[in-house]
Structure 1
Amino acid sequence: MDCGGVFVKYVLFIFNILFVVCGILIIVFGSILVSRISDVASVAQTFESNSIPIVILVLGCVIFIISFLGCCGAIREDTCCTMTYSVFVLVLFLAQFALIILVWTKGPQFLNYMDKVVAKIWQEHNKDPEVMNSLQLTFNCCGQNGSTDYTFNLEPIPNSCCGAQATSCNMVEAMKKPGCAQAFNSFWKNSINIIMYAGFAVAAVELVAFIFACCLANQVRNTIRRSNY
Structure 2
Amino acid sequence: MDCGGVFVKYVLFIFNILFVICGILLIIFGSLMVSEIKHFSDVDETFTANSVAIIILVLGCLIFLVSFLGCCGAIRENSCGLTMYSIVMLGLFLCQIALIIYVWVNHVQIRQSLDVVVQKIWDQRKSSDGILMDSLQRSLKCCGLHGFADYGTTYPASCCDSPNNGYCSLTSVMFRPGCKSAVDSLWDTNANIIKYAGLGVLAVELVAFIFACCLANQTRNNLRRQNY
Per-residue deviation, residues 27-70 of structure 1 (Å, max 9, x unmatched):
11111111111122112x34423111111111111111111111
Partner residue in 2 for 1:136: 137
Distance 1:137 1:27 in 2: 24
Distance 2:111 2:62 in 1: 26
Partner residue in 2 for 1:30: 30
Partner residue in 2 for 1:64: 64
Write the mapping of 1:8-19 to structure 2, written as runs, cut at 5 A: 8-19=8-19
Shift of 1:143: 0.3
Per-residue deviation, residues 72-123 of structure 1 (Å, max 9, x unmatched):
1111110000011011111111111111111111111110111011111111
Q: Does 2:195 align with 1:196?
A: yes
SS in 2 for 1:69: helix
Partner residue in 1 for 2:215: 216
Paired AA for residue 146 in structure 1:
G
Paired AA for residue 158 in structure 1:
P
TM-score for both structures, normalised by structure 2: 0.94
Partner residue in 1 for 2:93: 93
Distance 2:177 2:194 in 1: 24
Unaligned runs of 5+ in 1: none
Unaligned runs of 5+ in 2: none
CA RMSD, aligned part only?
1.2
Identity %: 56
Distance 2:183 2:21 in 1: 28
Shift of 1:220: 1.1
Partner residue in 2 for 1:150: 151
Shift of 1:127: 2.1
Q: Is the 8 A contact 1:141 1:161 kept in 2?
A: yes
Per-residue deviation, residues 153-176 of structure 1 (Å, max 9, x unmatched):
x6x20111112x534410121111
TM-score for both structures, normalised by structure 1: 0.94
Partner residue in 1 for 2:158: 160
Paired AA for residue 185 in structure 1:
D
Distance 1:88 1:199 in 2: 17
Q: Is the 8 A contact 1:83 1:217 kept in 2?
A: yes
Bigger Cα displacement from structure 2, 190-199 vs 61-70: 61-70
Paired AA for residue 132 in structure 2:
V
Q: Is the 8 A contact 2:163 2:169 kept in 1?
A: no
Q: Is the 8 A contact 1:135 1:180 kept in 2?
A: yes
Q: Is the 8 A contact 1:40 1:134 kept in 2?
A: no
Q: Is the 8 A contact 2:144 2:178 kept in 1?
A: yes
Distance 2:27 2:144 in 1: 31
Q: Does 2:76 align with 1:79?
A: no
Shift of 1:3: 1.0
